[in-house]
Structure 1
Amino acid sequence: MRILLQLALILGICYAGDLIHDFTGIPVPGNILGMLILLLLLCLKIVKLEQIREISDFFLKRLAFFFLPPAIGLMLVGDDVKSEWPLLLFLCIAITVITMAATGWTVQLLNKKSKNKD
C-alpha cells in the first residue's frame, strides 16, 4: 500500500507540472516542470527522500524498460537513420564534447566560488 501512496505522490507532482505548463504556456514540457517541482520539494525538505525511496528504487531498477519505446521508434525510421548516419554521428560527438566542457566549466566555477567563501 505504501508504494501506491508513493506512486500517487510522484504522479501528482508530475500532473502539477503538466497543469503549470498548460495554464502558463511556459515553453518547458510539463514532465520537466514536474521533475523541477520534485527537486524543489526535496531540497526544501517538504518531501523527504524516505517518502519516495521505494518507488524511486523500483523505477531505477527498471530504467532500461523505459527506453524501449524510443528504441522501437528508431527501428521504425531505420532507413532515415541509415541515410543520415554521418550527420547523426557528428552531432552525437559534438553534443557530448559540449556537455563535457560545460560540465567541467560549471564544476570549476562552483569550486572557485566555494573556495572564495572559505
Structure 2
Amino acid sequence: MLQGFIVLLLFQLLGEAIVTLTHSPIPGPVIGMLLLWLGLHIKRGPSNGLSQTSHQFIQHLSLLFLPAGVGLFFLPAHIQQHWPAIAGAMVIGTLVSLLFSGWLVKKLARGEG
C-alpha cells in the first residue's frame, strides 16, 4: 500500500512541477491525475499496491472533502455576501454532473463509447 501511495504522490509532484515550470493555469493535481491516467492506460491497469491504495482513498473520500467544506466558513466578507449564488451554483453543478454521469454510464453500458 505504501508503494501505491508513493506513486500517487509522485504523480501529483510531477503535475505541480509541470505547472511551476510552464506557469499553466491548470492545477498541478489535475495535470498529475491526467499523467497517471495516461500511465495506467499505457501500462493497461494499476499495480496491486496502487489498486489497494486507491480503494482505501475511495472508502474515506468524504474525509478528504472535509477541509474544503470547513474552509467555506472562513471566506472573506465580500464573498460571504453572495452565499445564495454560491449555493445555487453548487446545486446546479451537482445536478448537471449527475445527469451527465448517468447519461455517460448508459451510453458506455450499451457499447456506444
Amino acid at match of 1:63: L
Equivalence for 1:12: 10
Matched-pair identity in %? 28
Indicate the larger mover: 16-25 or 72-81: 72-81
Q: Counterpart of 2:52 in 1: which secondary structure?
A: helix
Decide whether the 8 Å contact of 1:6 with 1:51 is kept in 2: yes
Rg larger in structure: 1
Residue-pair matches, total? 113
Q: Which residue of 2 aligns with 1:53?
A: 51
Q: For residue 58 of structure 2, what is the amino acid of its counterpart?
A: L
**Deviant stretches of 4+, over 4 Å:** 78-82, 96-107
Q: State the AA in 2 paired with 1:74.
A: L
Q: What whole-Å deviation, never above 9, does each CA across 1:26-85 have from its counterpart, x for those lacking one?
A: 221111110000000111116634341111111111111111211211223497676323
Please report how far the alpha carbon of residue 6 of structure 1 lies from its aligned counterpart in structure 2 after TM superposition.
Answer: 1.5
- Unpaired stretches in structure 1, ≥5 consecutive residues: none
Structure 2, unmatched stretches of 5+, are none
Quick one: which amino acid aligns to residue 56 of structure 2?
A: F
Higher-RCO chain (CA-CA 8 Å, sequence separation at least 6): 2
The structure with more helix, counted as a fraction of residues = 1
Aligned equivalents of 1:82 and 1:28: distance in 2?
Answer: 26
RMSD: 3.2
CA–CA distance in 2 between the matches of 1:101 and 1:58? 27
Q: TM-score, normalised by structure 1?
A: 0.69
In the alignment, the residues of structure 2 paired with residue 103 and residue 60 of structure 1 have an alpha-carbon distance, to the nearest angstrom, of 18
